[in-house]
Amino acid sequence: MSRFLASRLASLEAYVPGEQPQDQPYIKLNTNESPFPPSPGVIKAISQTETSRLNLYSDPESKRLVEALAAHYGVGADNVFVSNGSDDILNFCFWGFCQDGAVFPEISYGFYEVFANLHGVPFEKLPMNPDFSIDPLAYHNAGRAVVLANPNAQTGLALSLSAIEGIVRSNPAHVVVVDEAYVDFGGESAVELTKRYDNLIVAMTFSKSRSLAGARLGFAIGPAELIADLKKLQYSTNPYNLNRLTQLAGIAALEDQDYYDKASQRIQATRHRVRQALLQLGFTCTDSRSNFVLASSPRIAGGVLYQKLKERGILVRHFSDPRIENYVRITIGTDAQMDALLEAVRALLP
Ligand SMILES: *Cc1c(COP(=O)(O)O)cnc(C)c1O
């Protein structure tokens, strides 16, 4: 740290993303990326013609992309906000809507805590049941903003739409942010509720189910007034938040929805198969609705399993949080990748 950094930032602990090692090829099952490339339409859209226009700024409103998203999700264009990854949206929500503080589950997306600290938002992490399920009633009348990933990060467990609605309805004086990064792998989306409640923001991303993690494209759906607030924060930080190529990629991805639906079905089928295999090997494994599972074996510690798999060229994610330190989070890849994982796990178990 230099002597110039503002003192209020001195103690800030930054988010630590999953490893992206360049030293050797790995079977990468650690950052919940899609194992499938973007659809053919996306690859075509990022054309030489568009590349030759990179001397010009992109459309700060991302008008065509916003209209395509509005049509896709059945909302108005003024109900859609697009951003440089959905992390940007979460950042803005903590910055703009958490004046009275925030609550989120004790195990969830690690970035929530980082954003809360960045913006000086007091927060409380609410305990979960021993099986990692969340009691929705714990979020009723919270007296501050509520931030929930649904399906939840790290566990993959999902709350029902009626549970989400109960939380939104009981917190009329505060914003409820539902982070649906994984919704396309078997969750229930709360987008319809945004038409009836003025305090609900749904954040989504093209990074997981739409194979565009490297393009950085997130979006939020919500009531027009909340969306206008997000735009105000965007225009106060980075008006050209989406580059030209990403805007085109997003539009093309929406036109190829069939491709992504099939990819998501494949991932869900593979997830089912991998979970069954892990259960048979004596693992505890969450009943995930996302593109990963959280698994733990009484025969090998989470940190050891992570390290030994890495030595065999397979990357999974291990968290040092004591409640899940004996687990590893395994992204669902292709069938061939998961066969390699299961074979390695079988060989490693003592
Ligand atoms: C991956 C992820 C995000 C971030 O997505 P980007 O659009 O890549 O910034 C947000 N929330 C959760 C829960 C995620 O897992």
For the residues of 261-293, what is the DSSP string, one character each? HHHHHHHHHHHHHHHHHHHHTT-EE---SSSEE
Q: Is the CB of 213 under 6 A from ligand 1?
A: yes
**Is the confidence at residue 215, as pLDDT, over 90?**
yes
Q: How far is residue 235's CA from residue 270's CA, in Å, rounded to a whole number?
A: 42
Can you tell me which atom of ligand 1 is nearest the CA of 208?
Answer: 1
CA nearest neighbour of 142 among 124, 127, 155 = 124
What lies within 8 Å, CB to CB, of 217 at 6+ separation is: 82, 83, 84, 85, 205, 206, 207, 242, 246, 249, 250
How remote is the C-alpha of 123 from its chain's centroid? 20
CA nearest neighbour of 348 among 305, 293, 289 = 305
Query: What is residue 348's three-state secondary structure?
Result: helix
Average predicted confidence (pLDDT) for the chain? 97
pTM: 0.97
Q: How far is the CA of 86 from the centre of ligand 1 (A)?
A: 6
Specify whether the CB–CB gap between 107 and 154 falls below 8 A: yes
Q: How far is the CA of 349 from the centre of ligand 1 (A)?
A: 32
**Is the confidence at residue 24, as pLDDT, over 90?**
no
State the DSSP code for 24: S
pLDDT at 299: 96
* Probe target for ligand 1 pocket from 30, 89, 109, with the most ligand atoms within 8 Å of CB: 109
* Probe target for ligand 1 pocket from 112, 113, 207, 241, with the most ligand atoms within 8 Å of CB: 207
How remote is the C-alpha of 282 from its chain's centroid? 29
pLDDT tens-digit map of 110-135: 999 999 999 999 999 999 999 999 99
Q: Is the CB of 147 under 6 A from ligand 1?
A: no
What number is the average pLDDT over the span 18-32?
91
Q: How far is the CA of 181 from the centre of ligand 1 (A)?
A: 6
Q: Is the CB of 86 under 6 A from ligand 1?
A: yes
For 162, the token pair is 């009626």
Q: Is the CB of 85 under 6 A from ligand 1?
A: yes
pLDDT at 240: 97
Q: Is the CB of 205 under 6 A from ligand 1?
A: yes
Work out the angle at residue 232's Cα, subtended by the Cα atoms of residues 231 and 233, and round it to the nearest 5 degrees. Answer: 90
DSSP 192-255: GGGGT-TTEEEEEESSSTTS-GGG--EEEE--HHHHHHHHHHHHTT-TT-S-HHHHHHHHHHHH
Q: How far is the CA of 180 from the centre of ligand 1 (A)?
A: 9
Can you tell me which atom of ligand 1 is nearest the CA of 83?
Answer: 7
Q: Count of CB atoms within 10 A of residue 82's CB?
A: 26
Can you tell me which atom of ligand 1 is nearest the CA of 218?
Answer: 7
Q: With residue 81 as reference, give the H or E element that holds it.
A: strand 80-83
Q: How far is residue 112's CA from residue 28's CA, in Å, rounded to a whole number?
A: 24
- What are residue 329's DSSP bridge partners? 294, 317
Share of the chain above pLDDT 70, in %: 100
Can you tell me which atom of ligand 1 is nearest the CA of 109?
Answer: 13
pLDDT band at 23 (very low <50, low <70, confident <90, very high): confident
Q: Is the CB of 153 under 6 A from ligand 1?
A: yes
* Probe target for ligand 1 pocket from 208, 319, 329, with the most ligand atoms within 8 Å of CB: 208
Q: Is the CB of 34 under 6 A from ligand 1?
A: no
**Is the confidence at residue 45, as pLDDT, over 90?**
yes
Q: Which of 45-59, 83-97, 158-172, 292-306 has the lowest mean pLDDT?
A: 45-59
Q: Tokens 């959280």 — which residue?
A: 294
Share of the chain above pLDDT 90, in %: 95
